[in-house]
Amino acid sequence: SRPHIVDVIAGDGIGLEVVPAALRCVDALAEQFGFAVTWRDRDWGSERYRRTGAMMPEDGLARLADGDAILLGAVGAPDIPDDVTLWGLLLPIRRAFLQYVNLRPVRSLPGVPGPLSDGSGIDLVIVRENVEGEYSEIGGRIYRGRPEEAAVQETVFTRRGVDRVARFAARLAASRRGGLTSATKSNGIVHTMPFWDEVVAGAVERINHSGPETPIRLRKVLVDALAADLVLRPREHDVIVASNLLGDILSDLASAVVGGIGTAPSANLNPEREHPSMFEPVHGSAPDIAGTGIANPTGQIWATSLMLDHLGESTAAAALLAALEAALASGVRTRDLGGTAGTDEFTSTVLDHLTTTTEELSDA
Ligand code: NAD
Ligand code: IPM
Ligand code: MN
């Protein structure tokens, strides 16, 4: 079969350190499992902005359109306003390629303690709406130069936009333990949220009607209470569906509960596969540690495993995740997880385990 075409945007900060770590892993896997990847390296990001005044070329999106997937590191630099960097690169990709599902699995990792408990036994997935909601481009304006300065932005939930992400989340729940929590704020204050609730409930009802593997038990939970519940009872959650902003906040919270945001992956999916999907860690460019070689590549490597799965290389994807878990279990860990290893040492440990776990997988 032909090589997979993957656009690589390492971007900014620790993206430039954790993306090469992930590529080392894929190159080893490609050899072991006999597939090929054509990497299209894109030097897009803040350095390009400083040089040319643009985060990516004018026809950047068109250049990505015929690829099979996009692997992204992180975007953001302390000397450039975030709205410039993010609207110049990350957000246009999510929107142009209709990556309306942002899939963020959160699982206990072997040997990685949570800050609150041993962190074990947690296995949930956040399905975050990724192209509309509170991140809408409608009405965003700051009214200056008048006595009452004000900033206004419209939250936009479309029936189609909420329904498609809710259906995705519901089907995912039906293939797992059947639990679906919808994060809401519909107690009469955020006026768009009762509509979110209505569309989510309708989508779940339709899927339950079609006779899924496991009937879906939908619970709508006010997001403030849900934040507390994720800390107190994280094991009771299966799939969580949330709007763009609420899902963003809940995903950092949930990943911290299992040990830290350095471990969390994120898949920006166009489920219809009409456009490329994008895979990245949940964390950002971490300017406070960039350039020091201590960044945890776990989130990036896990995101890369999700990408391999999406590309149809499911055995390689499973082998990579198994090697990552084995490396963590072996006690070699980066500083954010209480260890002493740098990015390269940890990545080498993952590579060491790739060969051994691959043998175990093929024996099984
Ligand atoms: P951040 O996620 O970059 O960092 C938050 C904290 O977590 C920092 O202390 C950082 O050192 C630590 N951290 C994050 N990832 C780590 C890793 N892999 N290993 C070890 N420690 C890690 O969030 P921030 O500081 O709020 O944002 C920094 C910049 O990144 C901003 O410009 C922001 O807009 C941008 N950002 C980009 C993305 C993205 O590209 N998808 C996501 C979030 C934030
Ligand atoms: C994320 C990030 C982005 C988001 C920012 C950087 C725009 O926080 O991917 O979680 O809010 O989507
Ligand atoms: Mn975020």
pLDDT tens per residue across span 46-83: 999 999 999 999 999 999 999 999 999 999 999 999 99
Lowest mean pLDDT among 113-127, 226-240, 267-281, 307-321: 113-127
Question: 85 C-alpha vs ligand 2 centroid, how far in Å?
Answer: 12
- This complex has an ipTM of 0.98
Give 248 Cα–ligand 3 centroid separation in angstroms.
5
**Bridge-based pairing state of the strands 239-242 and 123-129:** parallel
Distance CA 134, CA 97 (A): 19
pLDDT of residue 119: 73
The encoded tokens of residue 229 equal 């519940």
Strand order in the sheet with 179-184: 37-41, 4-11, 69-74, 277-281, 265-269, 101-107, 123-129, 239-242, 179-184, 217-222
Residue-wise pLDDT tens digits, 193-235: 999 999 999 999 999 999 998 999 999 999 999 999 999 999 9
Domains along the chain with CATH numbers:
1-101+264-364 (3.40.718.10), 123-257 (3.40.718.10)
**DSSP-assigned states of every residue in 133-176:** BTT--SS-EEE-SSSS-EEE---B--HHHHHHHHHHHHHHHHHT
Nearest ligand to the C-alpha of residue 266? 2
Q: Which amino acid is at 111?
A: G
Confidence class for position 169, pLDDT limits 50, 70, 90 = very high
Note whether 287 and 273 are within 8 A (CB). no
Which is nearest to 104 in space by CA: 316, 263, 287, 314? 263
Q: Which residue, judged by its Cα, is nearest atom 33 of ligand 1?
A: 76
Could you list which residues have their CB under 5 Å from ion ligand 3? 248
Percent pLDDT > 90 in the chain is 90
As a whole number, the mean pLDDT across the chain is: 95
Residue 308 has pLDDT above 80, yes or no: yes
Best mutation site among 285, 336, 337, 343 for ligand 1 pocket (most ligand atoms within 8 Å of CB):
285
pLDDT at 363 over 70: no
Identity of residue 27: D
- Ligand 2 atom with minimal separation from the 90 CA: 7
With a pLDDT cut of 70, the percent of the chain lying above it is 98
How many Å lie between the centroid of ligand 3 and the Cα of residue 261? 10
Atom index in ligand 1 nearest the CA of residue 73 equals 40
DSSP states along 100-127: -EEEEEEE--TT---SSS--TT-EEEEE
- Separation of 282 CA from ligand 1 center, angstroms? 8
Separation of CA 353 and ligand 3 centre (Å): 30
Distance in Å, CA 247 to ligand 3 centroid:
8
Distance 201 CA to ligand 1 centre (A): 34
Residues 174, 326: Cα–Cα separation, whole Å: 29
Q: How many CA atoms lie within 13 A of 207 on its CB side?
A: 28
Identify which ligand lies nearest to the alpha carbon of 249.
3
Whole-number Å distance between alpha carbons of 93 and 87: 9
Which protein residues are within 6 Å of ligand 2, measured from CB?
86, 90, 248, 282, 284
Residues with CB under 6 A from ligand 1: 14, 74-76, 82, 90, 261-262, 280, 283-289, 295-296, 299, 336
- Atom 4 (ligand 2): residue with closest C-alpha? 248
Measured in degrees and rounded to the nearest 5, phi and psi for residue 315 equal: -65, -45
Give residue 1's pLDDT band: very low, low, confident or very high (50, 70, 90).
confident
